[in-house]
Amino acid sequence: MNSINHVAIIMDGNGRWGLEHFKSRNRGHKEGIKTIEKIIKESIKHNIKFLTLYAFSTENWKRPKKEINYLFSLLEYFLKKKINDFIKENIKLKIIGKKFLFRNIFKIINFCENKTKNNTKLQINLALNYGSKSEIIDAIKLLNKNKIQITEKKISENLYTKNIPDPDILIRTGNTHRLSNFLLWQLSYTEIFFVKKLWPDFNEKDFTKIVNTFRYSKRNYGKI
Ligand code: IPE
Ligand code: IPE
Ligand code: MG
């Protein structure tokens, strides 16, 4: 049976859900928060140590300003609402991505990271302003600058995800089969699950089903 350390999720489909139910993409983003809360709880039940959530890609800046502003106000609301729970439940929050965001968000993010940095039950990596290609380029630039020889190990150690094991499972909801510039290096041997449901419809049962399928899957790593 495979053990599970790390689950990464591309939470896709909020916009379509919102349009379908309330004629508003933003309403879908709001609904998506509830799924995040459910999946955090379920991850703890399964004793998963790392949960990485793709919240905003470097490409998402191409969206209308109104939607971007709403997404960041939602993020602020979420962090303010959850910080006490994170502290109480021994959850560590880490941001992966380029952190030059709006000033007020930057403050609350740093506050949450600092307050939870010694927590050990579950580490939530929030991918924010995240792009995998630029992450890899930055790592290589840093190695070059410090005249360090480029090896797999050294690249891994210089990504935003240093000290985080590669994901065992990647889930993408929203019925779209692509990676959208997410963890390209780290997903080399990850088991990938594409889910038809839109993110706000995804639930604990769907998550558990994937976890159980993974536990009994055969991971070859090139062997037979
Ligand atoms: C994913 O949902 C959430 C973010 C990118 C922030 P989308 O907003 O991409 O939803 P769809 O894919 O348009 O339905
Ligand atoms: C990926 O979803 C990014 C996040 C979930 C944050 P997108 O909806 O932005 O991906 P594309 O543009 O359809 O590939
Ligand atoms: Mg999408």
What is the model's pTM? Answer: 0.97
Strand partners, 130: 57
Tokens standing for 201?
Answer: 């419809």
Kindly state whether residue 171 falls inside one of the protein's structural domains.
Answer: yes
Helical H runs in 117-180? 132-145, 152-157
Alpha-carbon span 91 to 167, nearest angstrom: 18
Kindly state whether residue 155 falls inside one of the protein's structural domains.
Answer: no
Kindly state whether residue 221 falls inside one of the protein's structural domains.
Answer: no
Domain count, the chain: 1
Kindly state whether residue 18 falls inside one of the protein's structural domains.
Answer: yes
Give the strand pairing for 122-130 and 169-172: unpaired
Instruction: Please report which ligand is nearest the Cα atom of 180.
Output: 2
Tell me if residue 166 is catalytic: no
Closest CA to 96 of 52, 158, 66: 52
Kindly state whether residue 194 falls inside one of the protein's structural domains.
Answer: yes
| Tens-place pLDDT, residues 60-91 | 999 999 999 999 999 999 999 999 999 999 99
Evaluate: CB of 11 within 6 angstroms of ligand 1: yes
Alpha-carbon span 96 to 186, nearest angstrom: 13
Q: How confident is the model at residue 104 (pLDDT cuts 50, 70, 90)?
A: confident
CATH of the domain at 66: 3.40.1180.10
Kindly state whether residue 150 falls inside one of the protein's structural domains.
Answer: no
Q: Which residue segment(s) compose the domain that 63 sits in?
A: 6-130+167-215
